Homo-oligomer: A and B are copies of this chain.
Amino acid sequence: MSDLRAGLRPEALAAPPSGIVEVMNYGRDRAGLIPLWAGEGDLATPRFVCDAATRSLAAGETFYTWQRGIPDLRAALARNAERLYGRPAAPERFFVTGSGMQAIQIAATALVGAGDEVLVPTPSWPNVPAAIALRGARVVEIPMTFAPSGWTLDLDRLAAAVGPTTRAIFLNTPCNPTGWTATREELAAILAIARRSGLWIVADEVYGRFVFDGSPRAPSFHDVAEPDDRIVWVDTFSKNWAMTGWRVGWIEAPPELGDVIENLVQYSTSGVAVFLQRGAVAALDHGEGFLAHQLARIGESRRLLIAALGAEPRVRFAEPGGGFYLFFAVDGEPDTARLGLRLVDEANVGLAPGTAFGTAGAGFLRLCFARSPDSIAEAAARIVAWLAEPSRVP
């Protein structure tokens, strides 16, 4: 290690590279590659959202603003929550952040630090344990169990993992990468565990709108919690409205936490551009049509993909209850970190290796199907053809 690197903090040096970014960097410039590694679709942000931002920029809204977010956006977030969850929601519960990732970072900073433990069901999105570890807290993985009928979170195992230094449970449902979607009963049971020990829940329900059984959303902690429960929701505009590149998200939390969240925004990025927030207001107030269009398209991609890979005897997966990922294993291919790179070279398809998502994900690959049915059908065909090559058959 160079002298310069030796001078850095151990937590910072220990922050792992994202296993997703590794394969992206490997395959970024391959001609004709179908990139299904990241958690984003192929649609640009809809025009009406961009137009709202452009109008604001042209009007000179380029100055510092409220650390908690502009009042219009906080009010729009409250209206959105009322529509979705059928309960009253006050704007004072909502805080605008510079991405869902920053919402997680701020929640972690507010809640955990050295000496604390956080329970994280895995497989999980790698940025969550990384953000917790950067606060000096310890991540306790609660491995979920795979079966073709579905992934399972063992609630007894979760409850048994609560110890004297446990401070929080991080729960992502629908889950990235597995598609596991907690039932209302499971959420009530998890909340009961948290209440019993005074734990915080960080609720990541970012994929809550991406369900394909006709219901308007997945079950939510909003269905079972009281306003003063120790729950912090972390959310983003990225997925519902194709705004991954914008870096705008939000926190929902009890208003009593308001000044602490405001200070943590102040001392990290000091707010979000007003003109980006105007786009976010447009997305919330006028975005249901676009979301329905996305859902129809992604639903069809999902159907094609499950049909194609489901017919392959060497491929194992559970149909995802929500979200837009297929998390699958290939018999005879346990080394998915290498397999991800090989599929770039050998099938011209970019997938994320399951190793990026914790030990429970090691034998799997994550495929994002939030793209056109044609490109997902083509990607599935490439994977099927790759499996059929005689040299690959075990």
Q: Which residue of B lies closest to A256 (CB)?
A: B4
- Find out whether the CB atom of A270 lies under 8 angstroms from the CB atom of B257: no
- Find out whether the CB atom of B15 lies under 8 angstroms from the CB atom of A230: no
A226 CB, min distance to chain B CBs, angstroms: 12
Q: Which residue of B lies closest to A20 (CB)?
A: B266
- Find out whether the CB atom of B136 lies under 8 angstroms from the CB atom of A17: no
- Find out whether the CB atom of B245 lies under 8 angstroms from the CB atom of A4: no
- Find out whether the CB atom of A268 lies under 8 angstroms from the CB atom of B268: yes
A334 CA to B38 CA, complexed, in Å: 56
**Residues of chain B within 8 A of A50, CB atoms compared:** 57-58, 62
Q: Which residue of B lies closest to A116 (CB)?
A: B9
**Residues of chain B within 8 A of A275, CB atoms compared:** 245
A377 CB, min distance to chain B CBs, angstroms: 22
A6 CB, min distance to chain B CBs, angstroms: 9
CB under 8 Å from chain B, chain A span 105-127: 105, 109-114, 116, 127
CB under 8 Å from chain B, chain A span 41-72: 44-45, 50, 53-54, 57-58, 60-65, 67
Q: Which residue of B lies closest to A12 (CB)?
A: B110
- Find out whether the CB atom of B9 lies under 8 angstroms from the CB atom of A67: no
**Residues of chain B within 8 A of A260, CB atoms compared:** 5, 8, 12-13, 15
A8 CA to B260 CA, complexed, in Å: 9
A40 CB, min distance to chain B CBs, angstroms: 6
Q: Tell me which of B44, B110, B230, B270 contacts A99 (CB under 8 A).
A: B270
**Count class of interface residues, chain A:** 35 or more
- Find out whether the CB atom of B62 lies under 8 angstroms from the CB atom of A57: no
Q: Which residue of B lies closest to A1 (CB)?
A: B256
Residue A274 is within 8 A (CB to CB) of chain B in the complex: yes
**Residues of chain B within 8 A of A57, CB atoms compared:** 45, 50, 53-54
Residue A200 is within 8 A (CB to CB) of chain B in the complex: yes
Q: Which residue of B lies closest to A6 (CB)?
A: B198
**Residues of chain B within 8 A of A11, CB atoms compared:** 109, 113
- Find out whether the CB atom of B21 lies under 8 angstroms from the CB atom of A38: no
Residue A144 is within 8 A (CB to CB) of chain B in the complex: no
Q: Tell me which of B40, B54, B112 contacts A54 (CB under 8 A).
A: B54
Q: Which residue of B lies closest to A105 (CB)?
A: B268
Q: Tell me which of B58, B64, B102, B254 contacts A268 (CB under 8 A).
A: B102
A198 CA to B274 CA, complexed, in Å: 42
- Find out whether the CB atom of B269 lies under 8 angstroms from the CB atom of A269: yes
Residue A340 is within 8 A (CB to CB) of chain B in the complex: no
- Find out whether the CB atom of A273 lies under 8 angstroms from the CB atom of B247: yes
Given contacts A15-B264, A53-B57, contact A198 B62 (CB under 8 A): no
Q: Tell me which of B101, B198, B247 contacts A7 (CB under 8 A).
A: B198
- Find out whether the CB atom of B4 lies under 8 angstroms from the CB atom of A228: yes
Q: Tell me which of B109, B243, B268 contacts A9 (CB under 8 A).
A: B109
Residue A391 is within 8 A (CB to CB) of chain B in the complex: no
A87 CA to B125 CA, complexed, in Å: 42
A24 CB, min distance to chain B CBs, angstroms: 9
Proximity bits, A145-175, B CB within 8 Å = 1, else 0? 0000000000000000000000000000000
Residue A322 is within 8 A (CB to CB) of chain B in the complex: no
Give the 8 A-B residue pairs with the shortest CB-CB distance, closest first. Answer: A44-B60, A45-B62, A15-B263, A62-B245, A101-B270, A12-B110, A4-B256, A130-B267
Interface CB pairs A-B, < 8 A, 9: A7-B198, A21-B266, A61-B245, A62-B243, A63-B244, A130-B267, A134-B267, A246-B273, A247-B270
Known A101-B268, A105-B268, A245-B274; further 12 A-B contacts with Cβ < 8 A: A4-B254, A9-B110, A11-B109, A12-B263, A45-B62, A99-B270, A101-B266, A114-B136, A130-B266, A134-B264, A245-B273, A247-B271
